[in-house]
Amino acid sequence: MATFTTKRIEALNVPGRYSDGNNLYLQVTKTGGKSWLFIYRWNGSQKEMGLGPFPAIGLADAREAARDALRLLKDRTNPQDPLAVRRAEEEAKREKPAFGVFAEQMLSDIELQWRNDKHRAQWRYTLREYCKPLWEMPVNDIDTQDVLKVLKPIWHTIPETASRLRGRVERVLDAAAAKGLRSRANPARWKGHLDHLLPKRHKLTRGHHAAMPYSEVPAFVQDLRQRENMSALALEFLILCAARSGEVLGMTWEEVDLDAKVWTVPARRMKAGREHRVPLTERAIEILDSVRLLSLLTSDSEQPKATGFVFRGATAGQLSVMSLTMQLRRMEKGHFTPHGFRSAFRDWCGEETDFAREIAEAALAHTVGDMTERAYRRGDALEKRRRLMDTWEGYLNCRRS
């Protein structure tokens, strides 16, 4: 008969082993530590199996674990050593690596086939950023619901990224199956599987991002400036620079020259694979000064210097892409996308200004003209683009309804 209650266990302070029945014992050490043991005999020898410390493992859980071990021990058709069974299960887990571990191994094996660093970085970024729910899961245990948990939050908001992510998860799981680490069907497969559970490809917004009309952007920016958080600052900076989300969120202090008022995005982080210089407006500088001051105030260094990512998340790492989308949702503008502000900027350039098309396209880091034309246009028109971005800022500073 069981003899323990939780109160009695808490009161025990004399070292020793105390039986609760069913081969379950509470061990109390000289220092007052308490833990559970399952003590039994197997092939004529006494064996002990630890069940965990008290109070992390409560009385009810310890009794349940002891009952499970006892069932293995006394199975009439196939008695088993509980300790050996546990060791086999732990070994099986070690043989089936976590999704994150295997994904990193696979990328190391195949990344040489990719022609540029940007593509390698995109693979790693999307898997690390969006597959966090899968990262620690054994690669063999991942099922359809696990994959949907990753895809559904971004399937409508950033469909192009979601589609690429699905294909990358499918490839990781296919590689795991090829190495004998998965025995189940691939839950990230599209045809005949996820195509029945998610909107079809042709229903997705491919190549077009829901853009706020440019006439509404000034009022939105004024509202955005009332929000004192890192996501709001990053989103306003994105709008001011007409930049892509990845360029802004991956921005580091080493890329910024505050004296020259220029942000230089390295080629490896640009979609076209070419370095891009961005002229910084007065308000963009103000945002960077605010973020830089916050960075210095939170630094532990005696001689602090802003380094690393400019726009940081709660854990001091890179601010996530989803944070910008969530900022729009909190402002009841979730039907628009961060990338859509580039379209709003381009529409404004064409409708409201006399700046040349080439200058507007250069501000967006778009390629203009054929190869011969580009060869003769060696400059990046930085100062002309600076005037354009200053005019854009002036437009944003005027409240519009």
> Three-state SS for 344?
helix
The CATH number, out of the four listed (1.10.443.10, 2.30.31.10, 3.30.565.10, 1.20.120.160), of the domain defined by the range 214-396? 1.10.443.10
Name which of 98, 42, 40, 43 is nearest 51 in CA terms: 40
Look at residue 400 in the predicted model and tell me its pLDDT: 46
CATH architecture observed for domain 6-95: 2-Layer Sandwich (3.30)
User: Rounded distance, CA 363 to CA 389, Å?
Assistant: 8
User: Rounded distance, CA 218 to CA 283, Å?
Assistant: 13
Has residue 141 got a pLDDT over 50? yes
User: Rounded distance, CA 221 to CA 238, Å?
Assistant: 11
Query: What CATH number belongs to 99-203?
Result: 1.10.150.130
Check if the beta carbon of residue 49 is closer than 8 Å to that of residue 60: no
Tokens 């191994």 -> residue: 105
Q: Label the pairing between strands 262-265 and 276-279.
A: antiparallel
Check if the beta carbon of residue 342 is closer than 8 Å to that of residue 364: yes
User: Rounded distance, CA 65 to CA 55, Å?
Assistant: 15
Look at residue 207 in the predicted model and tell me its pLDDT: 46
Within this chain, domains 99-203 and 214-396 share the same CATH topology: no
pLDDT in tens, 295-344: 666 555 444 456 788 998 876 678 888 899 999 999 999 889 999 999 99
The predicted model scores a pTM of 0.50
Has residue 191 got a pLDDT over 80? yes
Give me the residue spans of the domains in the chain.
6-95, 99-203, 214-396
User: Rounded distance, CA 207 to CA 202, Å?
Assistant: 12
Q: List the strands of the sheet with 262-265, edge to edge.
A: 256-257, 262-265, 276-279
What is the percent of the chain with per-residue pLDDT over 70, rounded to a whole number?
A: 86
Amino acid (one-letter) located at 194: L
Q: Kindly report which listed range (90-99, 188-197, 275-284) carries the lowest average pLDDT score.
A: 90-99
> Three-state SS for 26?
strand
Has residue 186 got a pLDDT over 90? yes
Look at residue 371 in the predicted model and tell me its pLDDT: 40
